[in-house]
Homo-oligomer: A and B are copies of this chain.
Amino acid sequence: MTDDNILSQYRDSIDNIDAALVCMLAERFKVTQAVGEYKASANLPPADPAREERQIARLRQLAKDAKLDPDFTEKFLRFIIDEVIRHHRQISSKES
């Protein structure tokens, strides 16, 4: 296999995985959108620190099992949750 082919095959896999990640993220935001609307209608706060702590602990363990860096995984979840809370606040401010 030529050098170009080696890199190209790896990149094909990365592109496939990225497409899967984008689809899973789209699905995740569909659910959190519903959560945001529900929270706004039930007058629940956008953020839930106790739930976040449980999510972080669970994902750190899942990361270890999958041989992914737990610290990076926690940063990743924080990155997603920050965006979710931003959405929840937008929904909440529209409803109030």
Task: Write the residues of chain A forming the contact surface with B, with a CB cutoff of 8 angstroms.
Answer: 3, 6-7, 10-11, 13-15, 17-32, 34-35, 38-39, 42, 44, 51, 55, 58-59, 62-63, 66-69, 72-73, 76-77, 79, 83
Contacts and interface: CB of A to CB of B under 8 A. Distances in A.
A24 B14 contact: no
Contact of A10 (B15, B34, B63): B34
Contacts of A27: 17
Given A10-B34, A10-B35, A21 B24 contact: yes
B29 A68 contact: yes
24 contacts: A3-B42, A6-B38, A7-B35, A7-B39, A7-B44, A10-B32, A11-B51, A14-B31, A15-B58, A17-B28, A18-B28, A18-B77, A20-B24, A21-B21, A21-B24, A22-B66, A23-B66, A25-B73, A26-B68, A29-B68, A29-B69, A72-B83, A76-B79, A79-B79
